[in-house]
Amino acid sequence: MRSGEVKRRTNETDIAVSLTIDGTGKAEIATGVGFFDHMLDLFARHALIDLKVVVKGDTHIDDHHSVEDAGIALGEALKQALGDKKGIRRYADVHLPMDEALTRVAVDVSGRPFLVFRTAFEAQKIGTFDTELVREFFQAFAINAGLTLHVETLYGDNAHHIAESCFKGLARALRQALEVDPREGGRVPSTKGAL
Ligand SMILES: [Mn+2]
8-state DSSP, 60 = T
Expressed in angstroms and rounded, the spacing between residue 183 Cα and the centre of ligand 1 is 37
Mean pLDDT of the chain: 97
The string of pLDDT tens digits covering residues 32-80 is: 999 999 999 999 999 999 999 999 999 999 999 999 999 999 999 999 9
- Class of the CATH domain delimited by 3-184: alpha beta
Residue 165: band (very low, low, confident or very high) from pLDDT cuts 50, 70, 90: very high
Instruction: State in Å: Cα 98 to ligand 1 middle.
Output: 9
Question: What pLDDT score was predicted for residue 105?
Answer: 99
Taking the CA atoms of 138, 140, 141 and 142 in sequence, report the sign of the dihedral they define: positive
pLDDT at 35: 98
Do residues 33 and 63 make contact, with C-beta atoms less than 8 angstroms apart? yes
Arithmetic mean of pLDDT, 169-189? 96
What pLDDT was estimated at residue 110? 96
- Distance in Å, CA 91 to ligand 1 centroid: 27
Domain limits, the chain = 3-184
pLDDT tens per residue across span 92-120: 999 999 999 999 999 999 999 999 999 99
Residue 6: pLDDT band by 50, 70, 90 thresholds?
A: very high
Q: Report the pLDDT value the prediction gives residue 160, as an integer from 0 to 100.
A: 98
Q: Considering the entire predicted model, what is its pTM?
A: 0.97
Which secondary structure element, helix H or strand E, spans residue 93, and what is its range?
A: strand 91-98
Q: Is 51 exposed, middle or buried (0-12, 13-18, 19+ CB in 10 A)?
A: buried
**Average pLDDT, stretch 140-152?**
98
141 to each of 138, 184, 187, how far by Cα in Å? 5, 26, 25
Q: What is the pLDDT of residue 9?
A: 98
The helix (H) or strand (E) run that includes residue 73 is helix 64-82
Distance of CA 3 to CAs 9, 83, 151, 157, 181, Å? Answer: 20, 9, 25, 37, 18
For residue 50, how far is its CA from the centre of ligand 1 (angstroms)?
20
Q: How far does the centroid of ligand 1 lie from the alpha carbon of residue 11, in Å?
A: 31
Q: How many CB atoms lie within 10 A of CB 144?
A: 19
The CA 35 to ligand 1 mean position distance, Å, reads 8
Return the percentage of the chain with pLDDT > 90, whole number: 99
Question: Any idea what DSSP says for residue 12?
Answer: S
